[in-house]
Amino acid sequence: MNSRLRMTVIGTLGCGGKPSGFTPSANFTGRPVECRVAPVSRVCPACSTSYSSEVSFCGHDGRITIQVQPPGEEDPRLGTQLGDFVVAARVADGAMGRVYEGRHPETRQQVAIKVLHPQVAQDPIAVERFRREFETAEEMEHPHIVRVLDFGETGNGSYFMTMEFLFGEELSQMMDREGKLNGARLVRVVSQVAQALDCAHSAGVIHRDLKPDNVFLCESDDGDVVKLLDFGSVKLQMEMGAKLTAFGTTIGTPYYMSPEQAMGKLDVDQRTDVFALAAITHQMATGAVPFKGDNVAKILMAIVQEEPPPSSQINMDLPPGFDAVIAKGLVKDKTLRYASAGQFADAIVTAFGLEGGHAQWAKTPLAETARALSVTAPHPVLVSSWPPVAKASATVAYGEGPGTGGADATVQDGGPFASNLGTAETVLADGPLVAEPIKTTSNKNLIGFVLLGVGAALLVIVAAILFFTLSR
């Protein structure tokens, strides 16, 4: 087995989750850890037979094997039972709590058990958020929302939550390692996140803290399988505003907060999550967050007052319509954003030139999506309802052809399309995109005003010459 073990952290523990050295199986590939960890053994609590870390049940009596603890790091919870599951091993530590592997003594089901640290359990807001996370996720059954099983008290003043055990890594860690995503992977992840958000929104639930840390990527033969985590911010911000917890963290992560959240407004809705999804999509496409700052205050100020750089300026391989989709998703006025996460994902799919909606590409194997992108020309995305600033505009006429419908797209001067105003893309019947000159009404008006000004200046000069000649 590779000595560079890859661990997984389930759900939100707080920053800096630290693996304990546990590996649930020989082919386990979970959250990457940049450290070398010695294999951890297990022991049967009944017959004391030792096993390697991959063996979860004793070969003699079938009992659940318990992780052997290093001297000085004994955890009294190991070997005890929380709810219906035996605590078998430590998985990871974080600022908010500890994650364990749990096993059912009869069904042998493997689960993750999150337990709040004792000091965190004394904070009523942290406990309420933990409870809300369970209650909200329990109400929703969706393949892309993490499944929770149980919630309760530990018996010594803390609280635990049992949930499905996930094998994979957080989106944030994948991007830290690999930078930006390729087109096929981006389309798949965005489509699956959008499906999870639309499910939550249909139940009246707004996530409010969507970020790469809360997008968990499970491994499968077909590609990433998204599991959306941590619904602890649900309703809490509506009731308590931007109240800080005892650990100095505010609800919502600055880089992905919407302008209405940054300004402390309480009227957040599904378009708040759409903004966060657009910010994450920009980062997946470029490897950089759309709004930056040296501190939280500067980041929030940028979100409220500044326009992000076009994604294509950072990654020039993006399709022509990508910038417009991100810009509409990140527009300051939420009434001008996409009305749903699904609409945003559909626009991303269209920008990459794929036919069909995001629901189709959410389940399409990654290899098939990559093949489709290799032979499909990207489409321009017409965004007529996006005016980020009130400046002079130019009407861009798109030619007739499949995928265009002869529609007009209003592009604001100085917006994210400003660097692309030299040509318009037209899809012809035989396939490829051809660049045609843009026909604008503003150019004709500008020429007319220039000629009128020149003529007026000439008349003034002639009149002045005649005046001096006659006065002599």
Burial of 142 per CB tally in 10 Å (0-12, 13-18, 19+): middle
The helix (H) or strand (E) run that includes residue 112 is strand 110-116
Q: Which residue has the tokens 């329990």?
A: 138
Q: Which residues contact 459 (CB under 8 A, 6 or more apart)?
A: none
Sign of CA dihedral 175, 177, 180, 182: negative
Interatomic CA distance for residues 183 and 203, integer angstroms: 31
Distance (Å) of CA 90 to CA 7, 9, 53, 378, 379 = 11, 11, 12, 47, 49
Kindly state the tokens that stand for 315: 């990654």
From start to end of 146-291, where are the E strands? 148-153, 159-164, 168-170, 215-218, 225-228
Interatomic CA distance for residues 121 and 130, integer angstroms: 10
For residue 97, which of 159, 53, 177 has the smallest C-alpha distance? 159
Q: Which residues participate in catalysis according to the annotation?
A: 209
* Helical packing angle, 341-351 and 322-329, nearest 10°: 160
DSSP string computed for 408-465: EEEEETTSTTGGGTTEEEEE-TTS-EEEEEPP-HHHHHHHHHHHHHHHHHHHHHHHHH
Angle (CA) 364-369-372 rounded to 5° is: 130
For residue 324, which of 350, 292, 303, 304 has the smallest C-alpha distance? 350
Interatomic CA distance for residues 246 and 37, integer angstroms: 33
